[in-house]
Amino acid sequence: MSANIQDSTKGPAAEIPLSVVDLMPFRKGDDASRTMSDTLAVARAADAAGYHRYWIAEHHNANALASSATAVVMAEVAAATERIRVGAGGIMLPNHTPLVVAEQFGTLEAFHPGRIDLGLGRAPGTDPWTVQALRRGKAGADDFPREVAKVRDFLGPARPTQRVQAVPGRGSEVPVFILGSSTFGAALAAQEGLPYVFASHFAPDQLLLALDTYRSHFRPSAVLDKPYAIVAAGAMVAETDEKARHLFTSMQRRFLTLVRGNMEFLPPVEDIDALWNPAERDAVGSMLRESHVGSPATVRKSLAELAERTQADELMLMTETWDLEDRIRSYELLAEAWNA
């Protein structure tokens, strides 16, 4: 089993690693510098609290998210932290050439040996108009398996007959993860013997089916001798259940604006039910179904049940709050409770 994977053996909660995925929420009216500064503050806190990974998700043309230049942000996060693994959760491969991805992540690995992860996804991470602006020729989601193979080839050992090489990148063997919210990515990860990450923090519908597909079709490889599944989920922790539910309305409001077609990052409210109609409430509730909200004890129990239900080897958590201090405190409280 490669060094970037911890063997949790699916034991007690504290033995299952916790990680962080950051979408870099962008408050209306803030400049980009504040968002970047907030990201570094959260990453340092996660590093100090003992989280295993800190991943940045790629999005484009999203008013409420500032995570477009994923590899650039990763470089800053890795430089600002000491031991936590830093990764992409993920690079949306249809938007990039495999050679450039390998060069970027080979460079990151050279700067920060043994700390870089590369999660690959096949969705564009944006709207159809931005897809056209990003599109590089005819490569698209259907080419994902072949493009993943190219990235891995560029990151692997150089061959004497290989005319094009990733420099840096060749021989770096940066760990590759397959991301997904359906059985497609699960089947590919299983076929290639790679670790798999399911995005249940916003698309939980096929969680159990995808994990079953992954495990039942897994083929051992030089990377993994057995499946390694990471489950991404939402988490909002505060001193009391009531306070956590209040803070969580900020995330509910962001998803509500997403349902309405114009995503924004907004402050919490006292009465979220006054803002949506029943159909919108159900849509937001469906997307955020795997969000775990409450006091440290409440969320620890809820996440332990998620780990048991999914047999996850690792949990990757997304927390969004309007105020930076609440976000950092949420991660700190959860880490303390998880390891208690």
Report pLDDT digits (tens) over 14-56. 589 999 999 998 887 788 899 999 999 999 999 999 999 999 9
If one looks up domain 13-338 in CATH, what number appears? 3.20.20.30
How large a percentage of the chain has pLDDT more than 70? 91
Phi (first) and psi of residue 184, to 5 degrees: -60, -55
48, two tokens = 């100090």
**pTM to 2 decimals?**
0.92
The kind and range of the H/E element at 89 are strand 85-92
238, two tokens = 């505060």
Band of residue 3 on the pLDDT scale cut at 50, 70, 90: very low
Contact 333, 296 (CB under 8 A): yes
Average pLDDT over residues 285-313: 97
34, two tokens = 């504040």
Per-residue pLDDT at 202: 87
Band of residue 12 on the pLDDT scale cut at 50, 70, 90: low
Band of residue 168 on the pLDDT scale cut at 50, 70, 90: very high
**Choice among 52-61, 97-106, 136-145, 163-172 with the minimum mean pLDDT:** 136-145
Q: Domain ranges for the chain, please list them.
A: 13-338
* pLDDT averaged over every residue in the chain: 91
How far apart CA 203 and CA 192 sit, in angstroms, is 24
**Choice among 64-68, 233-237, 318-322, 334-338 with the minimum mean pLDDT:** 64-68
Strands (DSSP E) along 171-241, which ranges? 176-180, 196-199, 229-237
How large a percentage of the chain has pLDDT more than 90? 76
Per-residue pLDDT at 1: 47
Per-residue pLDDT at 127: 67
Q: Residue 134: is its pLDDT beyond 90? A: no
Average pLDDT over residues 168-177: 94
Band of residue 9 on the pLDDT scale cut at 50, 70, 90: low
Average pLDDT over residues 266-276: 96
Phi (first) and psi of residue 318, to 5 degrees: -110, 120
The radius of gyration of the chain from alpha carbons, rounded to an integer in Å, stands at 19
How far apart CA 37 and CA 80 sit, in angstroms, is 11
How far apart CA 334 and CA 166 sit, in angstroms, is 40
Average pLDDT over residues 63-74: 89
Of 43 and 201, the structure prediction assigns the larger pLDDT to 43
Per-residue pLDDT at 10: 56
